[in-house]
Amino acid sequence: GSVSVKLYREKNNAVIEIKDTGIGISEKDLPNIFERFYRSDESRTRITGGSGVGLTIAKAAVEAHKGKITVESQKDKGSCFKIFLPLI
C-alpha cells in the first residue's frame, strides 16, 4: 500500500493527516485502539505486532499540547489519522 502525510491549517488548528491504503481497522476495534496494550489482531505477538502502546503514547503527546487525534478506517481499505494542534 501507500502512506501519505499532509500538513494544513483548519480554522485555528494545524492538522497533520496520515492516510494509508493498508489493511484498515475493523469497526469493532476502533473504540479501543488508543487504549494501552490493545492490539486489534489477537494473533499478533510483541515480536510481530508491537506492544500496543504506540497510539496511546501518540494520544498522550497530542493531548499534552491541548490537541486531539481522530481516526477513520475501513477494514481492507485503509486508515486516516488526523492530529489537530491549536495554533494559538
Is the predicted pLDDT of residue 11 greater than 60, yes or no? yes
> pTM of this prediction?
0.81
Instruction: Name the residue with higher pLDDT: 23 or 32.
Output: 23
**Average of per-residue pLDDT across 63-86:** 96
Distance linking the first and last C-alpha atoms of the chain: 36
The position carrying cell 499540547 is 65
In angstroms, the CA 81 to CA 18 distance is 5
Is the distance from CB of 87 to CB of 67 less than 8 angstroms? no
